[in-house]
Amino acid sequence: MKFTPARPSIHGETLESLAARFAAAGEPAYRARQVLGWIYHRRAASWDEMTNLPKALRGWLAEHFDLDASALVLNRQSEDVTDKLLLELRDRSLIETVIIRAPQDGVGLDHSRKTICISTQVGCAMGCVFCASGLAGLKRDLSAGEIVHQLMQVCRREDARTPRARAELASFDNVVVMGMGEPLHNYDNLLRALTIVNAEWGLGFGARRITISTSGLAPKIRRLAHEPIGFRLAVSLHGATNEVRDRIMPVNKRWPLEELLPAVKAFAAAHGRMVTLEFILIESVNDGLEQAARLAEIAADVHAHVNLIPYNTVAGLPWRRPALARQQKFARQLEERGVSVTLRREKGHDIDAACGQLRLRTEKEREKAAPA
């Protein structure tokens, strides 16, 4: 389903596209840079704040563009260091954006390193059997503006907590495109959004600090390898053989490992840096030592770091997290084979941390509350 808002989000405009809109309206092109400066550099929250623009032009902007593609409806803070933002879009769809804080010695949580996990679709079409986001299928793609606006919500929130002391524009340190949706399934909007985030007239955020995570759309990985901006790549492997991946990730039937892994290698070769293999450990599904051995071979072959993620239980789904000892044994098997590996510490387990859970629960509550 496609959603066409009454006014497009200003956060989906590039310098060029906005200058073209101004030119068509008889305004000088330099106004585009002024407007984007107000939005990204000065964090204007209303058109009226843009005081060096003529009043009539501010009125024209308000008539033609949306300054708030999303509204914050819920902020769930976990006992550890994860902050989950539930955002409502103009069509009342819900998406999740997560702030993951990495505490550092000697500084408070407000000054910790922040990784932001953003969504690219409402729901997801990929149908991974362990995932809450894919349970109800794909509702729609997010627009470029809706993707960028998630980061502006974070900036707004973080600026209020800690006034920006550093010279950089973004109030965070890393972005992972790993939330709801398959990012490469919404390729054009994603690339436009990340171009805006990266541009000096946008958030000026370095491409090397942006990681795009895919469930394995091999042709799109090859396309991404040739983009002029060098983003990082993470692949959600979750199974080291076709047998296991077929069982839990339908995408593997379309692009099995024989097609996926050469595409990942091509990406790594084009960018000359390590990719990441994400591997959610699920009890009795992929946590056996034969999977660890095969995963080690794959990681060596594609020159990848492995990120092991203990499964977060999803209400209504039968999958379980392996015991800690088993997780550690799996990680050790990789280390002993010379693989660079991280066993992720739990984050956000107490706030419906698994991707899509908070949204799912809120939608169910809404359905219950709606008149029959």
Binders in 199-218 for ligand SF4, by CB under 6 A: 215
Binding ligand SF4 (rule: CB under 6 A), the pick from 8, 12, 181, 310 is 181
Identify which range of 74-82, 109-117, 127-135, 217-225 contacts ligand SF4 by CB under 6 A: 127-135
Amino acid at 85: L
Interface characters, 130-169, with ligand SF4 (x: CB under 6 A): -x-xx-----------------------------------
DSSP state for residue 102 in the 8-state scheme = E
Strand ranges in the chain using DSSP code E only, listed in sequence order: 70-77, 82-89, 94-102, 113-117, 121-123, 138-141, 174-177, 210-214, 232-236, 275-281, 304-310, 341-343
* 126 or 339: CB nearest ligand SF4: 126
Instruction: Supply the minimum distance, in Å, between the C-beta of residue 4 and ligand SF4.
Output: 24
Q: Which is nearer to ligand SF4, 8 or 356 (CB)?
A: 356
Q: Are 231 and 207 in contact (CB under 8 A)?
A: yes
> How many angstroms separate the Cα of 94 from the Cα of each of 10, 133, 169, 182, 314?
20, 11, 27, 16, 18
Site size for ligand SF4 (CB under 6 A) = 12
Dihedral in degrees, nearest 10, Cα atoms 150, 153, 155, 157: -140
Which window, 104-112, 174-182, 256-264, 361-369, contacts ligand SF4 (CB under 6 A)?
174-182
Segment near ligand SF4 (CB under 6 A); pick from 18-26, 69-77, 178-186, 336-344: 178-186
State yes or no: residue 128 binds ligand SF4 (CB under 6 A): yes
Residue matched to tokens 């932001």: 116
**Rounded to 5 degrees, what angle do the CA atoms 71, 15, 148 make?**
25
Q: How far is the CB of 60 from ligand SF4 (least distance, A)?
A: 39
Q: By the 8 A CB rule, do 356 and 180 touch? A: yes
Of the residues 124, 131, 155, 355, which is catalytic?
A: 355
Stretch near ligand SF4 under the rule CB under 6 A, chosen from 119-127, 266-274, 285-293, 359-367: 119-127
Q: Can you state the angle between helices 187-198 and 144-161, rounded to 10 degrees?
A: 40
Q: Taking CA 158 as the corner, what is the angle to CA 157 and CA 164, rounded to the nearest 5 degrees? A: 130
Tell the smallest beta-carbon distance from residue 178 to ligand SF4 (Å). 8
Distance CA 108, CA 110 (A): 5
Residue environment code for 117-130, b if the CB has 16+ CB neighbours within 10 A, otherwise e: bbbbbbbbebebeb
Q: Are 358 and 83 in contact (CB under 8 A)?
A: no
Q: Which listed range, 73-81, 109-117, 120-128, 153-161, lies at the site for ligand SF4 (CB under 6 A)?
A: 120-128
- Collapse the DSSP code of 155 into the 3-class scheme (helix H, G, I; strand E, B; otherwise coil) and give the result: helix
Q: Is 182 a catalytic residue?
A: no
Q: Is 200 a catalytic residue?
A: no
Residue 180 within binding range of ligand SF4, rule CB under 6 A: yes
Q: Does 190 bind ligand SF4 (CB under 6 A)?
A: no
Q: Which one from 96, 158, 182, 278 is the annotated catalytic residue?
A: 96
Binders of ligand SF4 among residues 328 to 357 (CB under 6 A) are 355
Using the rule CB under 6 A, which residue among 13, 96, 141, 182 binds ligand SF4?
182
Minimum CB–partner distance for residue 252 and ligand SF4 (Å): 11
Q: At closest approach, how far in Å is the CB of 23 from ligand SF4?
A: 39
Residues that bind ligand SF4 (CB under 6 A): 124, 126-128, 131, 133-134, 180-182, 215, 355
Instruction: Give me the active site residues, please.
Output: 96, 355
